[in-house]
Amino acid sequence: MLSPVEAISRVAVEVGFITCINHTWSPVKSGSVPKPAEVSVPYPAGASAPHGQARLVRPRADRREITAIFAGGAIGTLARAALAEAFPHSATEWPWPTFGVNIVAAFLVGYFVTRLQERLPLSSYRRPLLGTGLCGGLSTFSTMQVEILKMLSAHAWGLAAGYIGASIVAGYAAIHLATALVRRVRVRR
């Protein structure tokens, strides 16, 4: 049976932005990253292989990439805003909406990015759609900071410390867990 995450990502793939992959996209931001031209990725039978040579120079702002980020960001933001409106809380209450979306988005981004980097053929739109767009739009840093500021202003020191600690620990653990789950599955060849 399809896991919910897998289902979402498959639907996202079916819905749009499919077809040609004619430039490679270097997904890792830190550490040693092979240049796009050096990347060699196995394409499973049936998957669309890039036609023509990979461009040496990566286009700075590919329109499909921007569209994917916009679409993912719109959906993620809608979900986050709806939760924030549905569950209002005072400055001295645990901010469940922000905490919830942040941890869920962390798990999802860990899942998507690891799977796209290490398990699926190179794609030019999936990471922008699911990682940068959906998870980036779903999660928020600024709201968390203002919530912490309001807790500090209300002298709710313990709450502020607990919120910071729980967000960091749970966010980190969620990505670690999602990454480990993806890596447990053998590479498809």
CB of 174 to other proteins, least distance (A): 8
From candidates 73, 122, 126, 182, binder to other proteins by CB under 8 A: 73
Distance CA 12, CA 74 (A): 14
Closest to 122 in 3D by CA, of 46, 27, 33: 27
Among positions 111-170, residues that touch other proteins (CB under 8 A) are: 113, 128, 131-133, 135-146, 148-149, 152, 164, 167-168
- Say if residues 137 and 51 touch (Cβ distance below 8 Å): no
Nearer to other proteins, 104 or 189 (CB): 104
- Say if residues 83 and 95 touch (Cβ distance below 8 Å): no
- Indicate whether 81 belongs to the interface with other proteins (CB under 8 A): yes
- Indicate whether 14 belongs to the interface with other proteins (CB under 8 A): no
CB of 124 to other proteins, least distance (A): 14
- Say if residues 110 and 174 touch (Cβ distance below 8 Å): yes
- Say if residues 116 and 131 touch (Cβ distance below 8 Å): yes
Distance CA 29, CA 26 (A): 8
Q: What is the DSSP letter of 146?
A: H
Nearer to other proteins, 18 or 74 (CB): 74
Which segment (8-16, 37-45, 48-56, 172-180) binds other proteins by CB under 8 A? 172-180
- Say if residues 115 and 185 touch (Cβ distance below 8 Å): no
Among positions 42-71, residues that touch other proteins (CB under 8 A) are: 60-61, 65-66, 69-71
Nearer to other proteins, 120 or 160 (CB): 160
- Say if residues 188 and 44 touch (Cβ distance below 8 Å): yes
Interface residues with other proteins (CB under 8 A) are 28-31, 33, 60-61, 65-66, 69-78, 80-82, 84-85, 102, 105-106, 108-110, 113, 128, 131-133, 135-146, 148-149, 152, 164, 167-168, 171-172, 174-176, 179
